Structure formats: C-alpha cells, structure tokens
Amino acid sequence: MKKQAISKQGNVTNTSKIICWQITNKCTKECDFCLSQSTPLKKHVNVAYKKVLKKLKEIGIEKISFSGGEPFGVKEFKEIAEFANQMGFVIIVTSNGDLISSTKYNIEWLKLFQYVKISFYGTKLYHDKIMGIGHYDKLRKLIKKLIKNGIKVGINYMLSNASITFIDSFIKEYQYMGIYSVLIQRYIPTGNPKVDKKYFIETNNINLKLEKYSKYFEKGIKFFDYNINKGFQIILEPNNDVYFPNINDSKKFYYGNLFSNNKIKIENKELSLKEIVSIISKKRLESENIINY
C-alpha cells in the first residue's frame, strides 16, 4: 500500500483541482444511503450551465466529476459535457447505469469523458439486494458494450460493513475486463442511525491489501476513506451552492452560492472561493484519505 501524489501529465487528467458537480437530485433509484436524497420523484431544475462552467474556470477548477442523482437523466447533459470539453475541462461522470443501458442513442459522445464511472455495492447477490434483481448483470453487459465501443470505464465500489467482505472476489471478477480504474469509497454516514447501522464500518483500521490487483487496471485502484477528517473535496449542488465536506473538522461546511463573493475563514484566514480551491487542492495531494494501490 502506498500514498502517491497526484500530478499533472500532459493535460490536467490527474489534476487535484476537482469539483464534484451534483448536477441533479432526480434519479432512477431511491437508495436509503444517498447523501443527496435523490429520488425518481424529484424534479430536475435546468441549470444555466454555460454560466456555471465559466465561473468554475474563473475560480481555478480544472476537472469536473459529474454526479447526482443520475446525470444521464438531465436532458441537456450531452450539451453540458460538450461545452465543458470545449472549455478545456477534464470531465468524468458517475452513473448507476440505468439510463445508459436503456438508451438507443449513439454513445460515441461518451468519449468526451476521461472515463465513465459505474457504481457497484458488492458482488452480484448483495448488489442486487440493494439495486434490484438483474441490475448487476445489466451493469456487466453495459461495461462490456462501452469498452467495446472505445469508451473508458471506471468502477465505483461502496465499501460498507457488508461489501468489505466481498472486495477481493469483486476485484478478481473485473481484473481482465479492460477496466480503466477502480475507486473504492468508504460508506459516508447519512446521520440516520437506522441506515448508518446497516452500512457503516466501525473500525478505523482498513487495509484492503489490493496491491496485487492494481496492475490489471490502467489507472490502478484507489481507496477514499471519508472517515478521516482531512478535507479535500469541493461539492457543487444542483442549486449552485458550494460546500466542503470535513474541512475545518465540519462534516458539511457551506461557502454559499457559487456566484456570491463570500470570504470564509479557513485556517484563521479569510479566503475567497478561488483561494479555497487552491487550499483544498493542496490538501488533496497531502490527504491521508486517499490511498493508491
């Protein structure tokens, strides 16, 4: 196990100046552990995406990780991806796979993304228990289709108190499929005791011992441990509010609206959003939360 710095190579594909844009709260699923409380009943609010992207460029963001809800449920998502790409952002997207699997449109445009991340919650039996019978096989079929069409695919794996026991067999199942990268993310408590009891891993000492599998994935295997309070994330919500999980030892510290001119106190300094981006980028490079195998 080793901690590696994130460095620029060619373009900014490995930049640490990243924002997670939760572009919608509307989703095809209604998972009890969802931090954004996304549901099929939520209405998607159209975003002034050109204005948002120009502002993100202004504050120094170089890479956008689109999430939700389900980003592919956003009608103008292809336009947003194209405009972000034209502006020079590196873009990635996380999906539950439902809408990509069911679509009949040309998926060539997905090559705009550095890679498309597909979310899993365990091996087949446990994943289908959460997402519905047949969902796991649907995702495997989708992954094969995307890779066949030259689209890079990453895997997101939620590490819960149940799925941690399956991690080794899960990784083995995907080591020869041509997967671009694997990101394992520790379950993040929602604050609902009943839900958290189902998923939260009590121990702080997690050693997944996955070094032997890393060579099978172009960008290796990465583990994010959100239980360590060393902030390194920037989140943009559908209403354009910006917050930072864990920074200043707070679970959710709000800056305010993306377009405000707020200055907030971090490490005893009054900082603008652009300055905060630089601070968090540095924290990301130094963070003990991120382990590269």
10-residue averages of pLDDT along the chain (293 residues): 37 73 94 88 82 97 95 94 97 96 83 97 96 97 96 97 95 97 92 92 88 95 79 87 71 84 82 90 81 87
pLDDT given for residue 229 in this prediction: 60
C-beta of residue 13 within 8 angstroms of C-beta of residue 90: yes
Look up tokens 């993310």; give the residue: 185
Look up tokens 């993306």; give the residue: 258
pLDDT given for residue 286 in this prediction: 80
Query: CA torsion 16→122→41→48, rounded to 10°?
Result: 20
pLDDT given for residue 59 in this prediction: 96
- Residues in contact with 22: Cβ distance below 8 Å, sequence separation at least 6, in sequence order: 36, 67, 68, 69, 235, 236, 237, 238
Residues, the chain:
293
Nearest to 110 by CA among 93, 127, 126, 98: 93
Look up tokens 């998607």; give the residue: 44
Domains detected in the chain: 18-292 (3.20.20.70)
pLDDT given for residue 249 in this prediction: 53
Integer angstrom CA distances of residue 12 from 109, 127, 235, 283: 20, 33, 19, 17
pLDDT given for residue 230 in this prediction: 65
Which region holds residue 5: left if phi is over 0, alpha if psi is between -120 and 50, else beta? beta
Can you tell me the distance from the alpha carbon of 223 to that of 233, in angstroms, rounded to the nearest whole number?
14
C-beta of residue 59 within 8 angstroms of C-beta of residue 105: no
Indicate the pTM of the whole model.
0.91
b/e per residue 240-263 (b: at least 16 CB within 10 A): bebbbbbbeeeeebebeebeeeee
